[in-house]
Structure 1
Amino acid sequence: MGLSELQRTSGRWGEVVDEIVRLEKKIFPKHESLARSFDDELKKKNSGLLYMEIDGEIAGYVMYSCPSSLCAVVAKLAVKEKYRRQGHGEALMKAAIQKCRSKRINRISLHVEPLRSSAVNLYKKLGFQIDTLVTAYYSSDRDAYRMFIDFGNE
């Protein structure tokens, strides 16, 4: 099992991105998927992606961006079905938080559907707080919690 940061200079860039795009298409509804623009998103200077491999297979990933020098946004966290509930999502999130903290980010935010209680509970366990309920965030009938964690007072 290994946790890696996807580097543009990696010889495996295309292979890793292709596998993540397949995972993205399988997990997220078409209108929420970044599959078509994944490569473009990762080319942005302020984007980052950490992924976990188990026995040569990508088990999950977390994608984030730093739109300013003070804040970061987690855009995606995904773990393949067969690897869920084994701590891999938590490990990915902890690594992303650490990466952001190393850049002296003061706040990390994310959006999560309230019905995804296991995800909400994971984020709370890691120190995220619910900021507000954003109605119709995903679609007209699907809301999202905006959650955040602050490091500014440390």
Structure 2
Amino acid sequence: MASAGGAVLELQKNSGSWAKVVEEVVKMERKIFPKHESLARSFDEELRKKNSGLLYIEINGEVVGYVMYSWPSSLSASITKLAVKENWRRQGHGVALLVAAIQKCRTRSVQRVSLHVDPLRLAAVGLYKKMGFQVDTLVQGYYSSDRSAYRMYLDFDSE
């Protein structure tokens, strides 16, 4: 899967690029997400979990975006994080990452992919809707006492 100028790569556990990619993703986490939503402190640990994966786009040696996903059960998977650096947005990277993560989830034969998103992040909500996700419900206080989230999902046809 390619986006404008970069390919979507999968972070392989124990690969030589692990530390560099994780470090760049952690920097992005800290910059993009509020402190209590950032996985920066536990990122390495999260990625080492058996049922999780990380895809990223690297352009000229720079990680410009990433998506983290997990499949806690055989029925469902979730997109746990999706971020693109500000100066790389609106160039198709978010779409490429999301499509690649959905494809990875499909290979696990799950029936549903879900995610949570701040309703105020209009570009993100628009991207997810464009990709076929539907709003399931508004989860009050998901991020903090005064910030809620849409729970969104994408169902696959059972074949």
- State the TM bucket, normalised to the shorter chain: over 0.9
Aligned match for 1:82, one of 72, 81, 87: 87
Aligned match for 2:107, one of 102, 105, 112: 102
Aligned match for 1:19, one of 13, 16, 24: 24
Moved more, 1-10 or 142-151: 1-10
Gaps of 5+ in 2: 1-5
Q: Which amino acid aligns with 2:122?
A: S
- Partner of 2:63, secondary structure, is strand
Aligned match for 2:145, one of 130, 140, 143: 140
Separation (CA, whole Å) in 1 of partners of 2:141 and 2:128: 21
What is residue 67 of structure 2 aligned with on the other side? Answer: 62
Deviations 1:72-129 (A, max 9, x none): 0111000001000111001000000011111111100000011111111100111100
Q: Which amino acid aligns with 1:65?
A: S
Q: Which amino acid aligns with 1:139?
A: S
Gaps of 5+ in 1: none
Q: CA RMSD of the aligned region, Å?
A: 0.9
Q: Percent identity, aligned pairs only?
A: 68
Q: Which amino acid aligns with 1:32?
A: E
What is residue 76 of structure 2 aligned with on the other side? Answer: 71
Separation (CA, whole Å) in 2 of partners of 1:87 and 1:2: 11
TM-score (norm 1): 0.97
How far does residue 9 in structure 1 lie from its aligned partner after superposition? Answer: 2.5
Question: 1:114-153 counterparts in 2 under 5 A?
Answer: 114-153=119-158
- Partner of 1:41, secondary structure, is helix
Q: Which amino acid aligns with 2:45?
A: D
How many equivalent residue pairs?
A: 154
- Partner of 1:76, secondary structure, is strand
Runs of 4+ in 1 over 4 A off after TM superposition: none
